[in-house]
Amino acid sequence: MSKTLALTEQLIALDSVTPEDKGCQKTLISLLEPLGFICETMQSGEVTNLWARKGTTQPLVVFAGHTDVVPTGPAEQWKSAPFAPTHRDGKLFGRGAADMKTSIAAFVVATEEFITAHPGHKGSIGFLITSDEEGPATDGTVIVCDKLKERGEQIDYCIVGEPTSVEHLGDTIKNGRRGTMSGKLVVKGVQGHIAYPQLARNPIHLAAPAMAELVSEVWDQGNEYYLPTSWQMSNIHGGTGASNVIPGEVVIDFNFRFCTASTVEGLQQRVHAILDKHQLEYALKWTVGGQPFLTPKGELSTALAAAIRSETGIETELSTTGGTSDGRFIAKICPQVIEFGPPNASIHKIDEHIELRFIDPLKNIYRRTLENLLA
């Protein structure tokens, strides 16, 4: 059994359902300290964060990831226990196998191999690990980034081990993510008997033209790296449950997934302008879940793409699709943030897994990237 596989299984066996770490980071510290890393635990509420660094010079290359996993769902639906790493059909099964304990294990072993082969390497290597990525993400990576900013520690390159590959290991890396912003819209009307509509004001009817306009609105054209910004309704709630009552209000939940061609302020202003144009009586509460970030083609993406090519023969593609990640926090203190990890088809599912044949090549890609940047 390879070191990477053994460490992956050791981490999977720790049932670190968010925000628990369950000793994962202590395991990492026990491996990193002998390599010369100064390890610092940053506790915030129930969340455990690790900042580890070897070296004091630039450039600083950081591996970032999370030890927390999503809940297993009904354990009886798994073919093997979620936290008992199991081999079956050439795959390793267990919660966190793809998202993202294999990546973390590959980070550590790749770093060990690199330091052993290049003891006098230039620059520094860091690890930023949290147990709050799958949860609210308020006590995790953002806390560490704020602390690093306060004390002037500059990250030059960061690889986030999110599962980004699609069909084959290395076919896709993320060089950015869209922002997410939600709105809870309450449109007011006047409740009444449905047989006397002249004595009531139906908020569903009042809101419908505005909703149709919001659906058809072109928010931007996207850019070289992003698809256009999208607006989607997710929930509509109105009425008392009775078929003969006009409701007094309707509540509409919606969400923007927006690219760097738009801003939070600009999108909010345009929504309010459409609602005001239709003369609605309304209240609207906004929640910004994350800003978009983008790393244009540069030293990090080139180094990682070359490592992927050398290890797999695949010409990787840059992508900004998918949901949010902790990359949005790191991008505020690091000019080049790239996400790369194993195939993501099974993440958050029953019987989450990774193909065994991808585990050591993943480690090798991380090691080759270090060689391209620091050797």
Active site residues: 68, 133
Let me know the angle formed at the C-alpha of 34 by 342 and 304, rounded to the nearest 5 degrees: 30
Distance CA(237)–CA(224), nearest Å, equals 38
Distance CA(77)–CA(73), nearest Å, equals 8
Please return the burial class of 240, using the count of CB atoms within 10 Å of its CB with bins 0-12, 13-18 and 19+: exposed
Neighbours of 13 (CB within 10 A): 17
Radius of gyration of the chain (CA): 24
Q: Which residues contact 43 (CB under 8 A, 6 or more apart)?
A: 49
Beta strands in the chain (DSSP E): 38-44, 47-54, 60-66, 86-88, 91-93, 124-130, 157-160, 172-174, 176-177, 179-188, 192-193, 230-238, 245-246, 249-258, 282-290, 293-294, 317-319, 336-339, 353-355
Token digits of residue 187: 């449109």
Neighbours of 11 (CB within 10 A): 27
Report the DSSP beta bridge partners of residue 317. Answer: 172
